[in-house]
Structure 1
């Protein structure tokens, strides 16, 4: 009899889900090809060069007997990038088995979260007992291009620097200033509510290890020359090998001056010739979306930010 109670371990190559179904650890590159085809064609058409083969996470094939019928990325307390291979139809049954496996693996004092839920998957996750997040988000993107960027003389423009953090990683050279700018730009807003960021400490930048020299050149710090205040900042990072906006914020007192648009134009200009496009992730209802649209960013399909199974104490 198969042991359905195997704990999660990087050493386990397979996990039985039931008498008929099982998970088998997958080669990320091969798994990525299947995910690129079957995850969601509208989404994949938007990310047409995406192969979903980044090395992070745990990729699994879903088998029915010896037949490969789908794939998923699963870790304790996390599930994302679920897909099925046609003509398989018993998706609800498999989804319930995946939930049961997650409950066996996970710390149940914490939520089990499902990420990157696309519109055609929401009902499937809901039927398995996942609760929907209130927020809807979507990717936007546009090709890198050259712009003539004109800055008001009251502002000084520079790119952020990187330094060692003493723990084997990296941090921004002006990390405290950047955190204060982000906090003042976002605290109490819709994005802060979504991310549960309520204090200054919640805004300590954690993206310094996900950038490179070209992305740093395309990132921007905008200073008010008169006061020395960091009025706005835009930081770029790598997202599955592509250039993306990690954070862009403008202090309330400096809004309406075109700073967000100028920072994005500067980013697109610096990236031109090195990266084909620039991506950003925006929540529906974020007023900044109009700036992105005016700059030619094209929106992709909406997705639920997360769905989740409540923790045992919720």
Structure 2
């Protein structure tokens, strides 16, 4: 019978192995050094050994597994997970699960949570943001009423997949989230809203910018929504193109992260965003807690 064990790894060497063998750049960094730094926030890096041979590795911290990978030529993903669970019996959460591992982990008693993917496109000042007549673009900054912005986001997201997945926030939570995002992007703010000149009302908004500590200085879109009465007149497309054009002076890339199943993904693709690998978070089903079939 195979003997499995964990061996703590030196995190710099672990990072090299993880980048080479992880089989996915889920954050779409396209950069060796940035990907190395992704795992170096933690000393809880472990090799997974089968009969004293390294077959993979993972960060294992406080019941959560992150950044799992197999080491070539080993390729049996079921045995890899069996070995990990045999060595660590209190795994409750697994983050960044690749699609090829989902069915394996379901068989081990884990349930599927949200599935996400990062999408990227080039920032490009030749892109034109075209709005229908009677609409204008205005800057969204600290002078904009934060409570109004929160209410717009709540109405724009109502009935969508993110509310289904994460729950419906109350106004206080929505306001706090907006304040947080605006603080994150104050270093380089590209946020905007589309204004209906006839109705004198906000039709949609986009919170975007560059976080001061963002690797590679990449621009991000944190929130995008259009109120239901203003949909299907290409306001979201115009806002995305506006951010792409505005960001070009400061960043080569614009990124966002989308929940798989969100209809907005089709829009992002239409505008030119390219999807990275899909990844999921999974957690242990209560009825199977503490049990792993070996």
TM-score (norm 1): 0.73
CA contact (8 A) 2:4 2:86 kept: no
Tell me whether 1:33 sits opposite 2:16 in the alignment: yes
Structure 1 residues 94 and 183 mapped into 2: Cα distance closer, same or farther (>3 Å)?
same
Larger RCO of the pair (alpha carbons < 8 Å, separation 6+)? 2
Over residues 249-288 of structure 1, what are the superposed CA-to-partner deviations in whole Å (9 max), with x where a residue is unaligned? Answer: 1111121222211111111112214222112222333222
Which stretch of the first structure deviates more once superposed, 247-256 or 91-100?
A: 91-100
Tell me whether 1:224 sits opposite 2:196 in the alignment: yes
Greater percentage in helix: 2
Q: Match for 2:47 among 62, 65, 78? A: 62
SS in 1 for 2:35: coil
Gaps of 5+ in 2: 290-294
Structure 1 residues 149 and 92 mapped into 2: Cα distance closer, same or farther (>3 Å)?
closer
Tell me whether 1:189 sits opposite 2:160 in the alignment: yes
User: Which whole-Å CA distance do the structure 2 matches of 1:177 and 1:62 have between them?
Assistant: 50
Matching residue of 1:246: 222
Q: Across the two proteins, how many residue pairs are aligned to each other?
A: 272
Describe how 1:115-194 pairs up with structure 2 within 5 A: 115-133=95-113, 135-146=114-125, 147-151=127-131, 152-161=133-142, 174-194=145-165
Matching residue of 1:280: 256
User: Which whole-Å CA distance do the structure 2 matches of 1:45 and 1:195 have between them?
Assistant: 21
CA contact (8 A) 2:110 2:282 kept: yes
User: Which whole-Å CA distance do the structure 2 matches of 1:302 and 1:71 have between them?
Assistant: 20
Tell me whether 1:95 sits opposite 2:87 in the alignment: no
Describe how 1:282-297 pairs up with structure 2 within 5 A: 282-297=258-273
CA contact (8 A) 1:95 1:128 kept: no
Matching residue of 1:298: 274
Q: CA RMSD in A?
A: 3.3
User: Which whole-Å CA distance do the structure 2 matches of 1:136 and 1:207 have between them?
Assistant: 22
Q: Match for 1:75 among 53, 61, 65? A: 61
CA contact (8 A) 2:48 2:83 kept: no
Structure 1 residues 66 and 77 mapped into 2: Cα distance closer, same or farther (>3 Å)?
closer
Gaps of 5+ in 1: 1-18, 103-111, 163-172
